[in-house]
Amino acid sequence: MAGVSKKRTSAKQETKAAEPDSRPPSSGKPLVWATSRGGLCEAVPYFKSFKSSLYTNKGVAYGFLIDHETDGGDAFDAQVIITTVGGGRVRDSETGAMVRVNDASDTTPGIKSLMNSHHSKTLMAVIAGEGNPLYQCRPPYPYAVLGWFHITDLWKERQMPKGGSKAVTIWRIRFEKADLSEPSWWFPEGECTTVPSIPINKEFKAPVVTCAKCSKPSKEIFATGWFCLNHECEHYWVFPTGAAVDTKGLAYSEAFLNERTPLLGEIPPIRPPIPDTAGLHGTELALRRGFVCPDCGCCNRRVYWNRWVCDNKECQYTRDAPMLPYPADLLEQENAKFDNHMGRRRATYGVNENTLDEDSYIFDPFATIYQRGYLQFSLTLKIGGFEVRQYFLPDSQGRVLGSFSIFSASKGVNSKPNGPDDLFRTLELTDIGLRRNPAAQFGHKLEGYTRHFQQNFGARYKFGVSVQSKGFNEAPDVILRALHRLIWAKKVAVENSNAFIGTLDPKFVRSNALVPNSGDFNELLALGYMEDDKINYHDDGESELGPVVAALSLGSPSTMRFRPKRKTQFFLPTQQDRGKACYKEVLEVPMKHGDMMVMVGTEIQKVYEHTVDPYGMRRFSLTARYIDPERMTLQADRDDAAVKGAIPKHAEAFVYDGY
């Protein structure tokens, strides 16, 4: 029988266990493991919690991670794992450690999901992080899946926090391994890690006693004897004799640790199969997710647009990801649903009066304008084959900073030879080098990646994410054709923006709202979006950038939103976004296939930030900028920009006229 310790782990033992070099190697290797938290969460269906130790879905718990935060009463053995649930902790100002100061809640979604999993006998994947101090062997990987477990017991107990003066209540879980015949690789080499699954030794069965006070049963968990574990009972944590339970020195009973609960039903493989491409086009969510390498078990993100590659340096696994043309009828269905969605948002949130041009904006069929009191000036223009809407964004004092223009393409524009329809179909089937890149905590196991795929062309664009870059002389014609469309849109947007701003009273205009129409774009960032991809709120305000940014949208529709940045002194409603209070949106516009947008004015990037949410399976965004070599610090960067940002002579044939 597997050795199971009765005594609850002490803090001293935890400290010792945290020295990995002193521990022997494991007796085996996990079937599923990861070098990064992101790779783990993207690759397996049972754990998608990038920050919490518990993963739930629709009120049921499916995965649990045991890492740095363990407790003196936890156990980490071959077939039984006992652990606490987070909550009630605050960070100690002196030590930096998380310490419990409050009672654990009974009503949090996490606790409720664990209760649901317990009652329904749902299988849960238990994962060990390398920071887990209870590992008895040397952790083989930063994250390792132990296997399938089920919750046999879930109870609330009292605990005296280290250095505390008052006992608090905590939730504790007993996990039991689903397949008792399967070796437990996380035990040290040479130690027995399995017991026969049949027959179950019935000698080990913890007694269950019904409380005389509350009439509810409680299991005898501790060697000190039975007491009621119903935390709502008056006799909770009190022996039948009336004596109080001493929280110090409690040890689990032998019967409680060694009893086994047979699990009925089929146990699925812990290693999920590789994505099945049958009947799919290549960018659906089922294919956008990561994968577990079938050769080595490493969890991987989907990093490359057109292939799956194992992140394990010792593994050579790679597999092409077929990218089939996305059918036009599916794009039409996406657009129909998108139009209905945007219409409902306009009807619910939009403000439809315009003091400047009341007739054309009483029932705005296009944008959702949330704060017309701030966004007072806007125009509708017919330019070339486009209907152009131009919005003039103000600062907190109502002074115009510049403009945002959206060029809505007609079917005639889209269907012309080498127009958006052809550009989209070409990009679908051309390998332009799109890939995801690290975006946070670079090189760390908690490293985060972009939620879209990138490839830069022209001058190197340096922003928060390091993106691979090629010169325009290496760019395929589809990129250069898109670039010339954006150069045209920039020219007409700046002309009309300057003309309108010139008619306003100077007191309503910031001094640098007028923008010189010079400096053709010398950089283009291509982004690819699969289903559920997005780009978070950001600005294009890097110091080297010129005052105009333009983008062409191809494929699935999307929504572009603007909101003032924090601390810009707007008297506007706020909302929580990733734990911070941020202003709500002031403007929201649809961007469909063939549409272009142009932002004019450097101050817009300083005061506002924007985001784009795709609404469909496949979208490309091609964003062009002018990166000023004179603002670059290094001469080598200026020289590189001059060479890579030069548009090839043959691309003169791609100059666009707006039709």
Going by their DSSP bridges, the two strands 618-627 and 523-530 should be labelled as: antiparallel
Q: Are 65 and 47 in contact (CB under 8 A)?
A: yes
Query: Whole-angstrom Cα distance, residue 539 to residue 607?
Result: 9
Which structure tokens are listed for 130?
Answer: 């390398």
Query: Whole-angstrom Cα distance, residue 625 to residue 620?
Result: 17
Q: Which residues neighbour 161 within 8 Å (Cβ) at sequence distance 6 or greater? A: 99, 100, 101, 168
- To the question of whether residue 529 is assigned a binding role by annotation, the answer is yes
Q: How many helices (H) and strands (E) does the chain have?
A: 12, 34
Strand partners, 124: 149
The enclosing H or E element of 438 equals strand 438-440
Q: Are 658 and 488 in contact (CB under 8 A)?
A: yes
Handedness of CA 95, 96, 99, 102 (dihedral sign): positive
Residue type, 317: Y
Q: Are 343 and 349 in contact (CB under 8 A)?
A: no
Q: How many residues does the chain have?
A: 659
Q: Which residues neighbour 450 within 8 Å (Cβ) at sequence distance 6 or greater? A: 436, 437, 439, 465, 535
Query: Whole-angstrom Cα distance, residue 176 to residue 153?
Result: 9
Query: Of 110, 176, 115, 114, which is closest to residue 147 (Cα–Cα)?
Result: 176
Query: Whole-angstrom Cα distance, residue 515 to residue 500?
Result: 12
Going by their DSSP bridges, the two strands 124-129 and 143-159 should be labelled as: antiparallel
Give the position of tokens 């849109």. 489
Query: Of 152, 128, 150, which is closest to residue 141 (Cα–Cα)?
Result: 128
Strand partners, 611: 561
Residue type, 351: V
Give the position of tokens 């993207």. 42
Query: Whole-angstrom Cα distance, residue 472 to residue 552?
Result: 17
Cα–Cα distances in Å, from 27 out to 24, 184, 186?
Answer: 9, 8, 6
Q: Are 147 and 177 in contact (CB under 8 A)?
A: yes
- To the question of whether residue 593 is assigned a binding role by annotation, the answer is no
Point out the annotated binding site.
529, 538
Point out the annotated binding site for 2-oxoglutarate.
529, 538
